[in-house]
Structure 1
Amino acid sequence: MKKLILPILLTICVIAISCQQKEKQNSIPKMVNSDGSYETVPLEKDTLVLKLIQNSVRNVKKIENAKEVVNENLQKVKNLVVEACTTGDKPNIVLMHEFPLTGYLYGGRKDKVQMALQIPGEETSELCALAKQYDTYIIFGSYAIDPEWPDHILSLTTVIGRDGEILKKIWKPRNIKRFYSSFEITTTTVESVREKFIEKYGIEEELPVLRTEYGNIALSTVQLDPFIFSAFTMKGAEIILRTSTLFFESDIIYTAMANNVYSAMANIPADSPYGGNSMVVAPSGKVMARLDKTTEGVLEAKIPIAKFRENRKLPQYAIELTKDIFKQYQEEIPANHLDMPKEKLPQNGKEMKVLLDSLSTWLNQ
């Protein structure tokens, strides 16, 4: 009898785990249609006018100068938004780069927490007023803080609606890793606190697609992350808008071609291989409009969204062919790696690297 107890208990545990997994799977809402279609709302117009702003910024380097620097950057951005809205065709969407208000934030976590913006806030209220005045969506990236996430530094993409209200604050899904040899990016992403993020906001908010009167739009700051963009597309994205501080031109073109979407990136001007070149790319991979590396100004492109949407289905992804390989792939850095007491959060890029090294499933086998 005793010999039977252990196998029975093990069987019960396996059944319980299996039931928990099935229950979790069943609780996930439907996010992808099985017939290749996707959800939309009626279009307000056949052709969308998209404008990108490419501008340099003054970086916040010292806490005591933060307010002055942000105000200087804000005035520059406001002038460019007015220029975008009063020259050429009226824009339906104005897209800015990753950090148009704060620039890149220098220093450790303590300093960045004090210098990052709270959204909504005084600065965003002025952009909200412009969005309402000119009846346009305004989209921009920023370092940000949130009282619900004390001492975490967020990289948010904020969408201001035509009514002048903040429509959406979109978290960066994940940071690029092992790209730099001596440090890792310290911002908190969806991936790094995934369980708590889903608990607070729901799994649909991990990779949200906005179904607007101008088309289905996805927004992100991630780069070189093709699975993210494919997931956006599976959820119905037609236009993928991205904000950047230096970027890879080929990444934008590949995203458009591989996912049959319109792809755009707003970048900062810089005389480097990764500077400037803010662009809008058609699903064919053709560059519809582009600024050069060092130009400050406004880029305009017209997207024939109604024609594009006609009879469109989701792309043909090789899920069945590759799923067994994907199941065997072991991610090096586990999710939820920044889900820890705030006093234990890494204070800089070097400490972040130490943390990731300690958690690495590849280095610690």
Structure 2
Amino acid sequence: MNQHDSGGPRSPARRNLLRAGATGAVTLAASGALSRPAHSAAQAGDANVSVAIDGKYETVPLRADVLRVTAVQSIMRAIRDTKNPKREMQANLQHMIDLIDAANGFPGRQHLVCFNEQPLSGWNTWTREESLRISIEVPGPETEALGAKAKQYGCYITFGAYVRDRDWPGHLLLNGILIGPDGKVVANHWKTNNMRGFRPDWDIFTTSIYDVLDRYREMYGEDEVLSIARTDIGNISCSVTPGQPDIVRAMAMKGLELRLSSSSGGYNVEEAQLMSAHNRLWTVVCNQSVSPETLGFPEFSGAGDTAIFGPNGKAAARARSVHEEFVTTAIPIAEFRRTRSIPPGVPMEMLLPVYTKYAPRHGANMHSSYIPADSADASRYYASRKNW
């Protein structure tokens, strides 16, 4: 969800309606009164979706022909005291600030500094209630502190975080956040959709756009479902959704140029390379370093492999270790944009008959009437709502 939407601030009536609906969802959860949501495909097709028909796409003028980009492969320190997380959260925030200073120090000023999926809270197998206590608001004190650094150096900063939103009470969000060189939040991109059936008796319970799709569309409009921040360093998605080639392809059709993917616990390198090449994108995948301070997990836990992939799918820069490290490259964004169009050869007339009849195993709006309390509860709930 972009913060600088052209539609202006949300109306009080819409906020109140949403809050009433979300409160009702939690009440339904407590009472066990579940209703299977209707398939939401009929609501798709908004004429205002920003997809060009002439191969070109919407942009804003670039601030520089070549972008200096640093992906920070940094430690993840999981909050231990979830009832009083302020001190540990502040320590993690300060570590981010120190690394932003360092990235803009000896290497020179950067246009973009990227962090992993959870640099503020770390990650552990918390319940939803515990996770909400260590989540942040956007904007909030943490984004203000990072915004001061972005303003100091004239750079963009992106990172992932657990987020709570007053318009979505009870929902735990996992968002990709982009702060601009003016110190303000440019984009607060929700995770688009979650993998279901993650492993037996354990599942992800964060609320993605797909989990509340109808209400999200009503609030923000169809164009924000697959949101792109059109900035003076390029058209950006702050992705916290690994894989998802169909999602990335659709965003490429909307003019995506830089996919800033924050990760934790590793990712599929070959898949990221393929999606960059298939869609002619620049991709920054920022993963965590070896992290010895998380209870219940070994130090490694999928660390390393932070990388920046070019539109040919080759690594322009890649971490050389699993330790804290800067992965830095120069992206010739102006030259890239001069020769780029949206994907030119997708045979939509052949694909749409299949796509429109396809029924996914788990439908949309899974969290419209119930929000799982923890990962075990999520696993039981999603298993009960399968289409096939």
**Which category describes the TM-score, using the shorter chain as reference length?**
0.7 to 0.9
Give the CA deviation at 1:121.
Answer: 1.8
What SS does structure 1 have at the residue aligned with 2:70?
strand
Identify the residue that residue 135 of structure 1 maps to in structure 2: 154
Identify the residue that residue 312 of structure 2 maps to in structure 1: 284
| 2:72 counterpart of 1:72 | no
What SS does structure 2 have at the residue aligned with 1:317?
coil
What SS does structure 2 have at the residue aligned with 1:100?
coil
Q: What is the CA–CA distance in structure 2 between the aligned matches of 1:89 and 1:145, rounded to whole Å?
A: 35
| 2:293 counterpart of 1:265 | no
Q: What is the CA–CA distance in structure 1 between the aligned matches of 2:378 and 2:89, rounded to whole Å?
A: 27
321-330 vs 256-265, which deviates more? 321-330
Give the CA deviation at 1:272.
Answer: 5.2
Q: What is the CA–CA distance in structure 2 between the aligned matches of 1:34 and 1:224, rounded to whole Å?
A: 26
Do the aligned partners of 2:196 and 2:382 also contact (CA within 8 Å) in 1? no
- CA displacement 1:222-241 (0-9 Å, x = unmatched): 01210111111110011111
**Number of aligned positions between the proteins:** 339
Identify the residue that residue 15 of structure 1 maps to in structure 2: none
Identify the residue that residue 361 of structure 1 maps to in structure 2: 387
What SS does structure 1 have at the residue aligned with 2:59?
coil
What SS does structure 2 have at the residue aligned with 1:227?
helix
Q: What is the CA–CA distance in structure 1 between the aligned matches of 2:42 and 2:215, rounded to whole Å?
A: 19
Q: What is the CA–CA distance in structure 2 between the aligned matches of 1:293 and 1:206, rounded to whole Å?
A: 36
Identify the residue that residue 318 of structure 1 maps to in structure 2: 347
Identify the residue that residue 24 of structure 2 maps to in structure 1: none
| Residue type of the alignment partner of 1:248 | N
- CA displacement 1:162-214 (0-9 Å, x = unmatched): 10111221111011122322211000010000111111111111111122112
**What TM-score do the two structures reach when normalised by structure 1?**
0.88
Identify the residue that residue 376 of structure 2 maps to in structure 1: 350
Identify the residue that residue 55 of structure 1 maps to in structure 2: 74
What is the Cα-based RMSD across aligned positions, in Å? 2.0
Identify the residue that residue 6 of structure 1 maps to in structure 2: none
Q: What is the CA–CA distance in structure 1 between the aligned matches of 2:143 and 2:110, rounded to whole Å?
A: 19
| Residue type of the alignment partner of 1:354 | R
Call closer, same or farther: CA 1:98–1:22 in 2, change over 3 Å.
Answer: closer
Give the CA deviation at 1:65.
Answer: 4.5
Q: What is the CA–CA distance in structure 2 between the aligned matches of 1:26 and 1:267, rounded to whole Å?
A: 35
2:211 to 192, 195, 207: 192
Give the CA deviation at 1:105.
Answer: 4.3
| Residue type of the alignment partner of 1:298 | F
Call closer, same or farther: CA 1:356–1:293 in 2, change over 3 Å.
Answer: farther
What SS does structure 2 have at the residue aligned with 1:118?
coil
Identify the residue that residue 230 of structure 1 maps to in structure 2: 249
Give the CA deviation at 1:24.
Answer: 5.6
Do the aligned partners of 1:241 and 1:263 also contact (CA within 8 Å) in 2? yes
2:186 to 167, 192, 196: 167
Do the aligned partners of 2:192 and 2:241 also contact (CA within 8 Å) in 1? yes
Q: What is the CA–CA distance in structure 2 between the aligned matches of 1:347 and 1:282, rounded to whole Å?
A: 40
| Residue type of the alignment partner of 2:212 | V
Which ranges in structure 2 are unaligned for 5 or more consecutive residues? 1-39, 291-298
Q: What is the CA–CA distance in structure 2 between the aligned matches of 1:27 and 1:247, rounded to whole Å?
A: 33
What SS does structure 2 have at the residue aligned with 1:86?
coil
Structure with greater helix percent: 1
Q: What is the CA–CA distance in structure 2 between the aligned matches of 1:22 and 1:334, rounded to whole Å?
A: 10
Q: What is the CA–CA distance in structure 2 between the aligned matches of 1:147 and 1:187, rounded to whole Å?
A: 16
Give the CA deviation at 1:62.
Answer: 2.8
Do the aligned partners of 2:43 and 2:214 also contact (CA within 8 Å) in 1? no
Q: What is the CA–CA distance in structure 2 between the aligned matches of 1:165 and 1:97, rounded to whole Å?
A: 20
Call closer, same or farther: CA 1:273–1:28 in 2, change over 3 Å.
Answer: same
Give the CA deviation at 1:314.
Answer: 1.5
Q: What is the CA–CA distance in structure 2 between the aligned matches of 1:101 and 1:25, rounded to whole Å?
A: 35
**What TM-score do the two structures reach when normalised by structure 2?**
0.83
Q: Counterparts of 1:12-161 in structure 2 under 5 Å?
A: 27-161=46-180
Call closer, same or farther: CA 1:139–1:23 in 2, change over 3 Å.
Answer: closer
Do the aligned partners of 1:44 and 1:214 also contact (CA within 8 Å) in 2? yes
Q: What is the CA–CA distance in structure 2 between the aligned matches of 1:320 and 1:26, rounded to whole Å?
A: 16
Identify the residue that residue 33 of structure 2 maps to in structure 1: none
Identify the residue that residue 297 of structure 1 maps to in structure 2: 325
Give the CA deviation at 1:111.
Answer: 1.6
Call closer, same or farther: CA 1:88–1:24 in 2, change over 3 Å.
Answer: same
Give the CA deviation at 1:102.
Answer: 0.5
What SS does structure 1 have at the residue aligned with 2:248?
helix
Q: What is the CA–CA distance in structure 1 between the aligned matches of 2:198 and 2:377, rounded to whole Å?
A: 16
Q: What is the CA–CA distance in structure 1 between the aligned matches of 2:177 and 2:362, rounded to whole Å?
A: 27
Which ranges in structure 1 are unaligned for 5 or more consecutive residues? 1-20
| Residue type of the alignment partner of 1:303 | I
Call closer, same or farther: CA 1:265–1:50 in 2, change over 3 Å.
Answer: same
268-277 vs 238-247, which deviates more? 268-277
What SS does structure 2 have at the residue aligned with 1:168?
strand
What SS does structure 1 have at the residue aligned with 2:277?
helix
1:255 to 275, 293, 297: 275
2:367 to 314, 327, 338: 338
Identity of aligned residues (%): 30
Call closer, same or farther: CA 1:338–1:236 in 2, change over 3 Å.
Answer: same
Q: What is the CA–CA distance in structure 2 between the aligned matches of 1:24 and 1:328, rounded to whole Å?
A: 15
Give the CA deviation at 1:27.
Answer: 4.4
What SS does structure 1 have at the residue aligned with 2:113?
strand
What SS does structure 2 have at the residue aligned with 1:263?
strand
- CA displacement 1:293-346 (0-9 Å, x = unmatched): 412022211111111111322222232333222233211111001012xxx421
Larger Rg: 1
| Residue type of the alignment partner of 2:384 | S
Stretches of 4+ aligned residues off by more than 6 angstroms: none
Call closer, same or farther: CA 1:126–1:37 in 2, change over 3 Å.
Answer: same
Call closer, same or farther: CA 1:263–1:329 in 2, change over 3 Å.
Answer: same
175-184 vs 158-167, which deviates more? 175-184
